[in-house]
Chain A
Amino acid sequence: MKLRAATLAFCFALLAAGPYAHAQPATPTELPGDDPRFEQRFRELTEELRCVVCQNQSLADSNAPLASDLRREVREQMNRGLDDKQVVEYLVARYGEFVRYRPALNPLTAALWGGPFLLLVLGAAVLLVRLRRRAQQPEAALSAEEHALAQQLLAAGPADKAAGETREGGK
Chain B
Amino acid sequence: MIPEFGQLALIVAFCLALLQGVLPLWGAARGDARLMAVARPAAHGQFVFTALAIGCLGYAFLAHDFSVIYVASNSNSALPWEYRMSAVWGSHEGSLLLWAFLLSLWTVAVTVFSRSLPQLLLSRALGVLGLVSAGFLSFLLFTSNPFLRLLPPAPDGRDLNPLLQDPGMIFHPPLLYMGYVGFSVAFAFALAALLGGRLDAAWARWSRPWTLAAWVFLTLGIALGSFWAYYELGWGGWWFWDPVENASFMPWLTGTALVHSLAVTEKRGGFKNWTLLLAITTFSLSLLGTFLVRSGVLTSVHAFATDPRRGLFILVLLALVVGGSLLVYSVRAPRMEAGGRFGLLSRESMLLANNVALAVVAGSVLLGTLYPLAMDVLGLGKLSVGAPYFDTVFLPLMAPVVFLMAVAPFVRWKGDGAGRVARQLVWAAILGAVAAAAILALVANAGWRSALGAFLAVWIVAAAIRHLAQRVRAGAPGAGLATRLRRLPLAYWGMWLAHLGVAVFIIGVTGTRSLESQSDVRLAPGETATLGEHAFRLAELRQVQGPNYSATRARVEVSREGKPVAVLEPEKRMYHVQRMPMTEADIDYGFMRHVYVALGEPVDDRSWILRLYVKPLVGWIWGGCLLMALGGLAGAADRRYRLRPAAAPRAASTGSAAPPASPAGAAARV
B386 and A22 contacting across the interface, CB-CB below 8 Å: no
B383 and A109 contacting across the interface, CB-CB below 8 Å: yes
Interface residues of A in 135-154 (CB under 8 A from B): 135-140, 142, 145-146, 149-150, 153-154
Partner of A3, one of B201, B304, B495, B583: B304
For this complex, into which size category does the number of interface residues on chain B fall?
A: 35 or more
Q: Is A35 an interface residue (CB 8 A)?
A: no
- Once bound together, how far apart are the Cα atoms of A46 and B600, in whole Å? 17
Q: Is A90 an interface residue (CB 8 A)?
A: no
A-contact bits for B285-325, CB 8 A (1 contact / 0 none) = 00000000100001111101000000000000000000000
B363 and A119 contacting across the interface, CB-CB below 8 Å: yes
Question: B591 to chain A: closest CB distance in Å?
Answer: 25
Partner of B580, one of A13, A137, A165: A13
Question: A68 to chain B: closest CB distance in Å?
Answer: 9
Please judge, given known A-B contacts A96-B382, A150-B667, whether A9 and B635 are in contact too, CB under 8 Å.
Answer: no
B579 and A13 contacting across the interface, CB-CB below 8 Å: yes
B666 and A135 contacting across the interface, CB-CB below 8 Å: no
Partner of A139, one of B234, B341, B662: B341
B663 and A163 contacting across the interface, CB-CB below 8 Å: yes
Q: Is B388 an interface residue (CB 8 A)?
A: yes
Question: A58 to chain B: closest CB distance in Å?
Answer: 7
Q: What residues on B are CB-neighbors of A112 within 8 Å?
A: 367-368, 371, 385, 389
A145 and B658 contacting across the interface, CB-CB below 8 Å: yes
Interface residues of B in 437-483 (CB under 8 A from A): 445, 471
- Once bound together, how far apart are the Cα atoms of A102 and B392, in whole Å? 9
**Count of chain A residues with Cβ under 8 Å from any Cβ of B?**
84
Q: Is B1 an interface residue (CB 8 A)?
A: no
Question: A6 to chain B: closest CB distance in Å?
Answer: 5
Q: What residues on A are CB-neighbors of B299 within 8 Å?
A: 55
A171 and B364 contacting across the interface, CB-CB below 8 Å: no
Please judge, given known A-B contacts A1-B172, A63-B600, A127-B353, whether A101 and B386 are in contact too, CB under 8 Å.
Answer: yes
Q: What residues on A are CB-neighbors of B338 within 8 Å?
A: 140
Q: Is A94 an interface residue (CB 8 A)?
A: no
B-contact bits for A1-28, CB 8 A (1 contact / 0 none) = 1111111111111101011101101000
B385 and A22 contacting across the interface, CB-CB below 8 Å: no
Nearest A residue (CB) for B226: A1
A47 and B603 contacting across the interface, CB-CB below 8 Å: no
Q: What residues on A are CB-neighbors of B173 within 8 Å?
A: 2
- Once bound together, how far apart are the Cα atoms of A145 and B243, in whole Å? 51
Q: What residues on A are CB-neighbors of B353 within 8 Å?
A: 127
B397 and A56 contacting across the interface, CB-CB below 8 Å: no
Residue from B344, B357, B384, B600 having most chain A Cβ neighbours under 10 A: B384
Please judge, given known A-B contacts A9-B161, A55-B301, A101-B389, whether A167 and B383 are in contact too, CB under 8 Å.
Answer: no
- Once bound together, how far apart are the Cα atoms of A19 and B647, in whole Å? 67
Nearest A residue (CB) for B338: A140
B383 and A98 contacting across the interface, CB-CB below 8 Å: yes
A-contact bits for B543-587, CB 8 A (1 contact / 0 none) = 000000000000000000000000000000010001111110000
Q: What residues on A are CB-neighbors of B662 within 8 Å?
A: 164
Q: Is B352 an interface residue (CB 8 A)?
A: yes
Q: Is B169 an interface residue (CB 8 A)?
A: yes
- Once bound together, how far apart are the Cα atoms of A120 and B574, in whole Å? 49
Nearest A residue (CB) for B294: A3
B519 and A32 contacting across the interface, CB-CB below 8 Å: yes
Nearest B residue (CB) for A114: B367
Question: B89 to chain A: closest CB distance in Å?
Answer: 9
- Once bound together, how far apart are the Cα atoms of A98 and B492, in whole Å? 48
Q: What residues on A are CB-neighbors of B364 within 8 Å?
A: 115-116, 119
- Once bound together, how far apart are the Cα atoms of A109 and B383, in whole Å? 9
Please judge, given known A-B contacts A9-B161, A103-B389, A171-B494, whether A4 and B344 are in contact too, CB under 8 Å.
Answer: no
Q: What residues on B are CB-neighbors of A142 within 8 Å?
A: 666, 669-670
Question: A69 to chain B: closest CB distance in Å?
Answer: 14
Residue from A7, A47, A150 having most chain B Cβ neighbours under 10 A: A7
- Once bound together, how far apart are the Cα atoms of A32 and B517, in whole Å? 14
A7 and B301 contacting across the interface, CB-CB below 8 Å: yes
- 13 A–B contacts from the bound complex (CB under 8 Å): A2-B169, A5-B161, A9-B162, A31-B522, A40-B445, A60-B235, A63-B601, A102-B386, A127-B352, A134-B343, A163-B650, A164-B667, A167-B640
A residues contacting B by CB (< 8 A) are 1-14, 16, 18-20, 22-23, 25, 29, 31-32, 40, 43, 47-48, 50, 55-56, 58, 60-61, 63, 96-103, 108-109, 111-112, 115-116, 119-120, 122-124, 126-127, 130-132, 134-140, 142, 145-146, 149-150, 153-154, 160, 162-171
B residues contacting A by CB (< 8 A) are 161-164, 169, 172-173, 201, 225-226, 228-229, 232-235, 237, 240, 242-245, 248, 260, 263, 266-267, 293, 298-302, 304, 338-344, 348-349, 352-353, 356-357, 359-360, 363-364, 367-368, 371, 375, 380-389, 392-393, 397, 409, 413, 445, 471, 489, 491-492, 494-495, 518-522, 574, 578-583, 600-603, 609, 635, 638, 640, 643, 646-647, 650, 654, 658, 661-670
Closest CB pairs A-B (n = 8): A101-B386, A170-B491, A164-B663, A1-B225, A102-B388, A116-B364, A171-B495, A5-B163
